[in-house]
Amino acid sequence: MSSKFKVGEDAIPHFVTFTVVGWIDVFSRECYKQIITDSLKYCQQNKGLILHAWVIMTNHVHLIMSSNATKIEFLVRDIKKFTSKQIIKAIENNPEESRKEWMLNLFGYAGKGNSHNKDFQFWRHDYHPIELNTSEKFSQRLNYLHNNPVRSGLVWEPWEYKYSSATDYCSNGRGLLKIDG
């Protein structure tokens, strides 16, 4: 892995991306997005996650995160491990999931091709951390993250998207997760 994609100083905000294998649009269902927000809340309360910004798209998640207590790589590992198991279980047990067989087959195929997984692989292994050690870098990634739902045609304005910290930055409202700006 090149030095461009290594975690720098954990206390400095980092832009990270978690991508679903095959870019599968799992997060078009609210119940799966809820697993992500619950996991992030837990890590904020119990593992030292400092969340500066976030967005959940249909097939990936962007975070700007830091920590004074836990290494970012350990937080990412724990979030991805927990959410992958919970989301797979939720897909398996969701009687209304019309894409269940298709998604589980794809996750199973990805898992069998990877010695790190027993049955399924949900997330791609990379997360490309980028240290945001200047206000210019932070601002650029923050704007990119918050405008992702707009570019994807999900909303007209960033603060209209429920699964994002744009509400916290662009209005007087509070979003679903506590933001440490």
Can you give the CATH number for the domain in which 77 is found? Answer: 3.30.70.1290
- Give me the residue label for tokens 């994807």: 152
Residue 173's pLDDT band (cuts 50, 70, 90): confident
Q: What percent of the chain has pLDDT over 90?
A: 83
Q: How far is CA 92 from CA 21, 43, 118, 128, in A?
A: 17, 25, 16, 29
- Give domain status of residue 171, yes or no: no
Alpha helices, DSSP H, located in 93-113: 100-112
- Give domain status of residue 134, yes or no: yes
- Give domain status of residue 176, yes or no: no
- Give domain status of residue 162, yes or no: no
- Give domain status of residue 32, yes or no: yes
CA distance 178 to 181: 9
Structure tokens that stand for 110 in this block:
């990805």
Per the structure, the count of domains in the chain is 1
Indicate the SS3 state at residue 29.
Answer: coil
Domain span at 21: 3-146
- Give domain status of residue 178, yes or no: no
Question: Do residues 87 and 35 touch, judged by C-beta distance below 8 A?
Answer: yes
Return mean pLDDT, the chain: 92
Mean pLDDT of all residues in 26-39: 97
CA distance 141 to 120: 31
Residue 1's pLDDT band (cuts 50, 70, 90): very low
- Give domain status of residue 117, yes or no: yes
Kindly report the pTM of this predicted structure. 0.93
- Give domain status of residue 174, yes or no: no
